[in-house]
Amino acid sequence: MKLKIPDAVLSIAPYVPGKPISALERELGVVNSIKLASNENPIGPSPLALEALQTVFDGLNRYPDGGAYDLVHKLSEKLGVPPEKIVIGAGSDDIIGMLTRALLLPGDQAVMPKPSFLMYDIMVRSASAEPVCVPLKSLAIDLEEMAARISSKTRMLFLTNPNNPTGTGITKTDFERFLENIPEEVVVVVDEAYIEFVRDPDCVESIGYVQAERPIVVLRTFSKAYGLAGLRVGYGIMPEDMALLLHRVRQPFNVNTLAQTAATAALDDHDFLEQTLNLVHAGLDYIGRRLDEMNIKHFPTQANFLLVDVGQNADEIYDRLLRKGLIVRSMTSYGFPHYIRVTVGLPEENKRFVDALEDVLNI
């Protein structure tokens, strides 16, 4: 290519998503496979969301509501947050992109935990800014070190609560102490993609900290607990002046009609959410118990997935599980060469996973 490609773009490591079931079946000829790799809701989408979708097909010749009025107002009511503080995105990924486009100049720095969600790194580099990665400490985000790495170039800082891929939470006490050390010019982005699954009562929910004087942005998504990953819809809660900045760089029709309709209806589907949380928590307990019986080390989690220490090369275990029709994530590229990450599935899927692992590890 004769094009002059920006170094920042060349520095981006392409995102590798969890393998889709169709790809596994195509590549290895495995049938009946299950995916426990992308922290999706195993039950399916919210039935109320599916029902609401039926009502909007006829209107798909029209552009979506660019302001997502119904969804914004439903969220406002539910969360007790003024509509002016809510920005809707095509997944929370979209909000991360708006934040980095609106707020970062080339050469600015953004502090982030590592390993954590890869989109922070990708979006920061896309803005020609510099990710400053802070290693986890005992699988948890090292808040002290994150604060210590702030420099005069730092504009943004990412926290993930609970963290992906480790499932660790941030306590209220630690979060408040951390905020005291953060200069007001640094935007603190708290990604709460898994907040609905949290069981630890000490774990912080940060929406209450979003005030005009404090640039805090909370990210939430419909991709996990609400079962709408395929539609791409999420949101950010932030001070109003920051929301106005994000609207400037937002694509005017970033969230399609189906996504808006389904998300609005899903917020009313209390039964579905309850069923999801019960299933995930029971699944975590079941997997944990079985792994304990097999003397396989695993780690406490506040999310809908867990890290398992397979005690040997995780890529190999991943591969052997794949051949049995089980898609999980190897954590080798995240710096954990012996760990796999498994999303909680349906009861029979969880059983199939543990049985397969038992078999593969020859226990």
Ligand X SMILES: *Cc1c(COP(=O)(O)O)cnc(C)c1O
Question: Considering beta carbons, is residue 231 or 322 the nearer one to ligand X?
Answer: 231
- Which of 56, 229, 277, 346 forms a contact with ligand X (CB under 6 A)? 229
Residue 273 per-residue DSSP state: H
Category of 285 on φ-ψ map: left (φ > 0), alpha (ψ -120 to 50) or beta: alpha
CB of 113 to ligand X, least distance (A): 10
Residue 10, φ and ψ in degrees, nearest 5: -65, -25
| Residue from 167, 169, 227, 234 in contact with ligand X (CB under 6 A) | 234
Of 246, 252, 240, the closest CA to residue 100 belongs to 246
Q: Does 191 bind ligand X (CB under 6 A)?
A: yes
> Nearest to ligand X by Cβ — which residue?
91
Site for ligand X in 108-137 (CB under 6 A): 117
Tokens describing residue 226: 């609400």
Identify which range of 137-145, 220-228, 271-279, 331-339 contacts ligand X by CB under 6 A: 220-228
Residue (of 144, 138, 173) closest to 157 by Cα position? 144
Minimal distance, residue 230 CB to ligand X, in Å:
10
- 91 forms part of the interface with ligand X (CB under 6 A): yes
Contact status: 221 vs ligand X (CB under 6 A): yes
- C-alpha angle 131-218-215 in degrees, rounded to nearest 5: 75
Residue type at position 218? V
Q: Which of 33, 41, 46, 92 is close enough to bind ligand X by CB under 6 A?
A: 92
Identify the bridge partners of residue 113 per DSSP, sorted by sequence position.
134
Which residues from 300-359 bind ligand X, rule CB under 6 A? none
Cβ nearer to ligand X, comparing 211 with 251: 251
For residue 168, the SS3 value is coil
Q: Are residues 150 and 108 in contact, defined by beta-carbon separation less than 8 angstroms?
A: no
How many chain residues touch ligand X (CB under 6 A)? 14
**Residues between 39 and 58 that touch ligand X (CB under 6 A):** 39
**Contact present, 33 and 24 (Cβ < 8 Å):** yes
Q: What are phi and psi of 235, to 5 degrees?
A: -150, 160
Stretch that binds ligand X, among 57-65, 85-93, 273-281, 346-354 (CB under 6 A): 85-93
| Cis preceding-peptide flag for 113 (omega within 30 of 0) | no
Q: Considering only 177-185, 221-229, 261-269, 293-301, which stretch makes contact with ligand X by CB under 6 A?
A: 221-229
Rank residues 117 and 336 by Cβ distance to ligand X and give the closer one. Answer: 117
- Give me the sign of the Cα torsion angle 324, 353, 299, 276: positive
Residue 168 touching ligand X (CB under 6 A): no
Considering only residues 192 to 211 of the shown chain, the ones binding ligand X according to CB under 6 A are 193
Q: Answer for the pair 249, 243: CB distance below 8 angstroms, yes or no.
A: no
Q: Does 164 help bind ligand X (rule: CB under 6 A)?
A: yes
Residues forming the site for ligand X (CB under 6 A): 39, 91-93, 117, 160, 164, 191, 193, 221, 223-224, 229, 234
